[in-house]
Amino acid sequence: MLAKRIVPCLDIKDGKTVKGINFVNIKEVGDPVELGAYYAEQGADELVFLDITATHEKRKIFVELVKRIAKHINIPFTVGGGISELKDADALLAAGADKISINSSAVKNPQLINDLANNFGSQFVVLAIDAKKIDNYWSVYIRGGRTKTDKELFSWAKEAENRGAGEILFTSMNNDGVKQGFACDALAKMSSTVKIPVIASGGAGKMEHFVDVFTKGKADAGLAASIFHYKEIKIADLKQYLKKNDIIVRI
């Protein structure tokens, strides 16, 4: 069995790491270069860097910032936000990214998933999905959670897999930032819907939530932001806790 991954997420706005609750009430929490280096030292398995307003502000991601972050870490690094064509992904790969994450641009142009997978390989392509559960139906949202689409969570994930996506990064907007646990029922359904790895995002508040997301939620990786940024949970301590609970992790 593959080891489960612990993945800190750095949401970037105006060059700074920020965090919100339910995608709003955004607060600045630190320098992304320093935080990235810190998490690499602390034993994170990967990092995710998302320029959360790039699409909304209709601009490209900060390639220079990606270069700076990449110089200070030695673990896989996923970058997302404002990627809408092959040359964007090419620039990020050249800047040091190991994988790219697409969200709004893929909803608007699903062929982008095929093109990226064909040009760079499926392992390079992460489809990020922000979804909200309303009346037992999971609707997909884009533009940083601002715009509801006509896509349904599980069918969109399956389509993305069929088009060549190598991973799904699913954020439950209902759970985001409230620290009451991941959307384990939806994650378990997601994991049975697709064969590619699923990264769980939204809801981590304590160590037990990670046990739940790997057992009940069947996720391959657990992503979190605020609990790591505010040092409420240290990655080394979390991994030891998971190991004691029979979860396979890299120590």
Q: How many Cβ atoms from other residues are within 10 Å of residue 248's Cβ?
A: 11
Confirm whether 11 is a catalytic residue. Answer: yes
Confirm whether 14 is a catalytic residue. Answer: no
Residues in the chain: 251
What CA–CA distance (Å, rounded) separates 122 from 19?
A: 29
Catalytic residue, from 45, 51, 88, 130: name it: 130
Q: How would you classify the pairing of strands 5-13 and 137-142?
A: unpaired
What CA–CA distance (Å, rounded) separates 142 from 140?
A: 7
What CA–CA distance (Å, rounded) separates 71 from 96?
A: 8
What CA–CA distance (Å, rounded) separates 149 from 62?
A: 27
Secondary structure of 119-184 in the HEC alphabet?
A: HHCHHHEEEEEEEEEECCEEEEEECCCCEEEEEEHHHHHHHHHHHCCCEEEEEECCCCCCCCCCCH
Q: How many Cβ atoms from other residues are within 10 Å of residue 165's Cβ?
A: 25
* Residues annotated as catalytic (active site), given as ranges: 11, 130
